[in-house]
Structure 1
Amino acid sequence: MFGKNKKRKSQKAAASSSEWEEFNPKLFQTKDQSENYEEKRMHNRRVAPGRPLTTDAYSHFENYGFLGPFIEQEWLKVISLNVPYYPKLVQYFYNNIVYERNANGSIHAFKSYVNGVAMRISKNVLAQVLEAPNEGKRINSYDAWNETHFTRAKQIQTVCGLDEEEDAQGRNRPSGNHLTVQARVLHHMLSYNILPKGGHRETVTYFDMELLTNLLLSEKVNLPYLIFNHMLTAAESSNMNLPYGMILTMLFEHFNVNLSEEVGLRISRQEFYTVSSLKKMGFELRNGEYVRVNNGHGGDDDDDDDEGDEGARDEPMGEAQSSTPPITLQRVWERMDGMYEYMGQMSTQMTGMHDYMGQMTAQMSTMQVTVNEMRDEWRSFSGRYMHPTTSDHHHASTTNEENVDEREGGDE
């Protein structure tokens, strides 16, 4: 028995030694990061690079008002970014994130480690790299759920183009096909570049509605805050697509990460937004304006959506473009990625609902205590100053009779 235990210990030690030998200080700062990379299967996580516009599409989108909100927000660099991206480095970036917290526990910055270079990411750093000011409303899913900035009716009125806020009362959360043309195009571009999704681009979350409402009403939104928080969400998730492939290239260059020996990918021509993308979304130019002609479940730029989001047709730089369509299994995986991400969003919303219900329960408990106190005070007041009760009448009558008996007996 002793010999077997000794043998097991030696095997375990050998395994640990082997694992430690696999630790690469160029890729990880700690052994925990190396083990986390395997446990979370980061090498299988797909990267969402972003989706820019072609030169023709840029002019066309601008002429028909689709870029106006992005211009007002100073977000043009993000939606126009067209640089190589590096999937393996993106995976290491998210795997190696370590939080920096304030005294109250909130995360104000985080550190990561890529190709032997330590990076400290804050909202100010993102603002510098993205050329977008670190100012404006700090929107998050909790505020969107709790209608912190706009009521639900106001959100629906704005994104659906209703005349009055009252017209939106009682309506359910809309889908992409219920949005105005401008709101639908903005939502589609947001789902690739600002809050990347793995699919289900026809789904409009409460967070989406909050963001769209601010953009359409020209309310300044803090882009570095949005991207910072979405990065943290991706790092915490075990299945979410890894966002901002091309933005991270800009960050790597900002911190002088050596990219010369890395294999960079570029999105293919078909993955850009083009003038024809509007038609694929279900819109048609009539009498100088775009109108919806799609009444079904399309309108989602489906060809680009299925094949473009996670780099299914990404090509190494310098290689000829392949005309071979993605295999069916690839499409299945993309849809599953989208479902996982959607479930994560629903989980976040449910957490918000749980917190909200907890607040409501606490308020109801406080109200109950107040009602009980008011009831006790009323009873005390009525007993002292209002008409006597039946028992009080009986007590008074008995006392009077006793007094009469005493007086009569004394006279005798």
Structure 2
Amino acid sequence: MEDIIYEAPPQDHPLEKYFTTYDDLNTYLLTFANRKEIPPRYLEISLLNTQNFNTLARILNEQVLMEFVQIRDNYYLDLVGMAYSTLLVEFNDENETEFMFKFKIFKKEFEIGCSELANIWNLHYSGCLFDGKKSLEEWGPDIKQQAFELFNIQRQARKKVLVNIFTMEMRVLHYLLNYVLMPRSSGHGHVKDEDVITMWAMMNDIKINWTYFIVQHMLRFKKGLSTSGFGYVCLWTRIFRYLHIDVSGEEVKRMVPTSVINIRTLHHMGRDLGTQEDEEHQQEPPPPQEQAPQEQAGPSEQPSMHNMMQALLRIEQTQTSMGNRLDRIEKNQARMLRKIRRVEAYTFDEEEAEDDDDEFWS
């Protein structure tokens, strides 16, 4: 075989100023030139200033994510695609917690250490090296089962778990996972195993090294199919700004008004704060009534909050299932009526035709 010669793109090539070699240029054209970004999202912090989101606020504070989920910025889609196509992460063989984040742009190679990257993204570089896929052995052998039990999930073969199994607060957490922390281009209405395990860790106050977590997902975007999207576009803007990369001549994209996660997002979910407050009042045990001493129930007889939540979820699922069945029955009835009308109309036409024939021959 002939030796491969890495030549620089010609000076008249429109992308010549970005790439040093044809190899880098071709990699970009084959993998990222036609790919779309996953639209970025950010959390409106005022949403947490209510008792309905006490748990979510506690989780974000303990995971040191409060500032991260509020990141919003303009982004440069073409530059992000070029940086992704040349992305390289070099991990320390002796200590996986240390790595160098490298990419090429404008014919230069840039690199950032893991601690610097954490500072750029307002994250703390500490915690478990979890990537969302593989559960850590130190968490226990039955992590997935524990996670499903925590959220009362019963997985069935060939059936996807829908997000409506969550309470509103947990749906917002799942929304943050799917759009901000580990964004994906589709399937936001479904609950994946990695979603459940990550939410289980956050609910149990297990701190995750989110810088490592996000970099692992960036590497997935680089290795993904050319038809899939890529996320974290606003995080790249912070990297470009930190490295003093000149973006003045590049096409800029701005976040749209629907990028914010706020009360309007809850309305799109079919929920609102009033509904959540009603649910919480229903889940609270009734106040004790004055009864004779011999008639007072013992502590073991009082219904627990967990049991009441499970009962409410079962009732809601039953109502949804019955509503779907009624819809199907009504549709089938309407379909049958239409068929009966067509048959009657056809029969009537035949009788008229026979009468006409009789009159003709008579």
- Identify the TM-score tier after normalising by the shorter chain: 0.5 to 0.7
Cα shift at 1:101: 4.9
Contact in 1 for aligned 2:9/2:20 (Cα 8 Å): no
Cα shift at 1:122: 3.9
Q: Which residue of the partner structure matches residue 152 of structure 1?
A: 144
Indicate whether 1:228 and 2:215 are aligned: yes
3-state SS of 1:131 partner: coil
Q: Distance in 1 between matches of 2:68 and 2:58?
A: 14
Structure 1 letter corresponding to 2:215: F
Q: Distance in 1 between matches of 2:42 and 2:20?
A: 34
Q: 2:84 aligns with which of 84, 94, 106?
A: 94
Return closer, same or farther for 1:270/1:18 CA change in 2, 3 Å cut-off.
closer
Q: Distance in 1 between matches of 2:149 and 2:174?
A: 15
Cα shift at 1:54: 3.6
3-state SS of 2:190 partner: coil
Instruction: Give the 5 Å matches for 1:332-351.
Output: none
Q: Distance in 1 between matches of 2:248 and 2:11?
A: 28
Q: Which residue of the partner structure matches residue 207 of structure 1?
A: 194
Matched residue pairs, number?
Answer: 275
Cα shift at 1:219: 1.3
Cα shift at 1:53: 2.8
Contact in 1 for aligned 2:52/2:276 (Cα 8 Å): no
Structure 2 letter corresponding to 1:288: E
Q: Which residue of the partner structure matches residue 13 of structure 2?
A: 22
Instruction: Name structure 1 gaps, 5 residues minimum.
Output: 1-12, 163-167, 298-412
Cα shift at 1:43: 1.8
3-state SS of 1:238 partner: coil
Q: Deviations over 1:37-67 (max 9, x none)?
A: 1222x12111125211346435459855433
Indicate whether 1:190 and 2:177 are aligned: yes
Structure 1 letter corresponding to 2:29: E
Structure 2 letter corresponding to 1:190: L
Indicate whether 1:38 and 2:29 are aligned: yes
Contact in 1 for aligned 2:103/2:111 (Cα 8 Å): yes
Indicate whether 1:84 and 2:74 are aligned: yes
Instruction: Give the 5 Å matches for 1:317-336.
Output: none
Structure 1 letter corresponding to 2:76: Y
Q: Distance in 1 between matches of 2:42 and 2:133?
A: 29
Cα shift at 1:24: 4.5
Q: Which residue of the partner structure matches residue 279 of structure 1?
A: 267
Q: Distance in 1 between matches of 2:43 and 2:154?
A: 37
Cα shift at 1:21: 5.1
Cα shift at 1:248: 0.9
Q: Distance in 2 between matches of 1:223 and 1:74?
A: 9
Q: Distance in 2 between matches of 1:66 and 1:219?
A: 14
Q: Which residue of the partner structure matches residue 375 of structure 1?
A: none
Cα shift at 1:270: 2.3
Return closer, same or farther for 1:224/1:62 CA change in 2, 3 Å cut-off.
farther
Q: Distance in 2 between matches of 1:61 and 1:175?
A: 25
Cα shift at 1:282: 2.5
Q: 1:288 aligns with which of 248, 254, 277?
A: 277
Q: Which residue of the partner structure matches residue 68 of structure 1?
A: 58
Q: Which residue of the partner structure matches residue 115 of structure 1?
A: 106
3-state SS of 2:42 partner: coil
Contact in 2 for aligned 1:139/1:221 (Cα 8 Å): yes
Instruction: Name structure 2 gaps, 5 residues minimum.
Output: 281-312, 322-362
Return closer, same or farther for 1:62/1:114 CA change in 2, 3 Å cut-off.
farther
Structure richer in helix, relative to its length: 1
Structure 2 letter corresponding to 1:75: L
Q: Which residue of the partner structure matches residue 333 of structure 2?
A: none
Q: Distance in 2 between matches of 1:61 and 1:29?
A: 55
Q: Which residue of the partner structure matches residue 130 of structure 2?
A: 139
Q: Which residue of the partner structure matches residue 237 of structure 1?
A: 224
Q: Distance in 1 between matches of 2:156 and 2:138?
A: 15
Q: Which residue of the partner structure matches residue 249 of structure 1?
A: 237
Contact in 2 for aligned 1:127/1:224 (Cα 8 Å): yes
Percent identical: 20
Q: Distance in 2 between matches of 1:55 and 1:83?
A: 16
3-state SS of 1:66 partner: helix
Cα shift at 1:81: 0.9
Q: Deviations over 1:236-268 (max 9, x none)?
A: 113331110111111111111112222322111
Q: Which residue of the partner structure matches residue 162 of structure 2?
A: 175
Return closer, same or farther for 1:187/1:131 CA change in 2, 3 Å cut-off.
same
RMSD, matched Cα: 3.4
Between 99-108 and 211-220, report the one with greater CA deviation: 99-108
Contact in 2 for aligned 1:90/1:248 (Cα 8 Å): yes
Between 127-136 and 222-231, report the one with greater CA deviation: 127-136
3-state SS of 2:111 partner: strand
Structure 1 letter corresponding to 2:120: V
Q: Distance in 2 between matches of 1:248 and 1:154?
A: 36
Structure 1 letter corresponding to 2:177: L
Q: Distance in 2 between matches of 1:225 and 1:153?
A: 25
3-state SS of 1:34 partner: helix
Q: Which residue of the partner structure matches residue 317 of structure 1?
A: none
Cα shift at 1:269: 1.2
Return closer, same or farther for 1:146/1:63 CA change in 2, 3 Å cut-off.
closer
Q: Distance in 1 between matches of 2:90 and 2:55?
A: 40
Q: Distance in 2 between matches of 1:130 and 1:71?
A: 15
Contact in 1 for aligned 2:8/2:20 (Cα 8 Å): no
Return closer, same or farther for 1:104/1:147 CA change in 2, 3 Å cut-off.
closer
3-state SS of 2:103 partner: strand
Cα shift at 1:184: 1.8
Contact in 2 for aligned 1:123/1:228 (Cα 8 Å): no
